[in-house]
């Protein structure tokens, strides 16, 4: 098993009112980005369904310079209908994310939970303050 020190939260940068389901995201990563699979280990759709992407034993492709030692989680959304970075998580997504993070915390108790923005301030992703919101997990 890889040594996991980070759990990184992302958004798909999908505007409200538009869908990017798990298979569409996987297709984009494979056919447009040249990845072998979806870059994330988990993908949470707006209805709160958690989809498994890459196995956590395998390195992801979601955060430059941090893939080797991290687990990547992405939620569908992150942009307002006008394309402005915004926390668009549904109640179902928030509940699913919390449950998933609690499960991952049991597997990797010393890992830090951060947002993509915390590692690359040039990106607004995931469009909410992960460190502040997830501090109690």
Domain holding 77: CATH number? Answer: 3.40.80.10
What gap in Å lies between CA 51 and CA 41, rounded to an integer?
Answer: 8
* 70 within a domain of the structure (yes/no): yes
Q: Is residue 1 part of a domain?
A: no
Please give the Cα distance from 128 to 137 (Å, whole number): 16
pLDDT of residue 51: 98
What single DSSP character describes residue 33?
Answer: S
Query: What range defines the domain where residue 52 resides?
Result: 6-133
Residue 21 lies in a domain: yes
For residue 133, what is the DSSP state? H
* 69-100 pLDDT tens trace: 999 999 999 999 999 999 999 999 999 999 99
56 is a domain residue: yes
Q: Considering the chain, what is the average pLDDT of its residues? A: 96
Q: Is residue 51 part of a domain?
A: yes
Residue from 4, 5, 6, 8 nearest 123 by CA:
8
Give the chain's residues under pLDDT 50: none
Domain count, the chain: 1
Tell me what pLDDT residue 93 has.
Answer: 98
In a domain, 82, yes or no: yes
Classify residue 54 by its DSSP letter: S
């Amino acid at each position: 098993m890889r040594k996991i020190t980070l759990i990184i939260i992302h958004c798909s940068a999908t505007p409200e009112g538009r869908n990017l389901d798990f298979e569409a995201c996987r297709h984009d990563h494979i056919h447009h980005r040249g990845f072998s699979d979806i870059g994330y280990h988990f993908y949470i759709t707006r209805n709160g369904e958690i989809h498994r992407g890459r196995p956590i034993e395998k390195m992801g492709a979601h955060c430059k310079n941090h893939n080797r030692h991290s687990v990547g989680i992405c939620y569908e959304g992150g942009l307002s209908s006008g394309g402005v970075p915004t926390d668009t998580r549904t109640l179902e997504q928030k509940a699913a994310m919390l449950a998933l993070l609690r499960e991952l915390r049991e597997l990797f108790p010393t890992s830090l939970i951060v947002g993509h923005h915390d590692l690359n301030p040039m990106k607004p992703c995931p469009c909410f303050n992960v460190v502040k919101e997830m501090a109690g997990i």
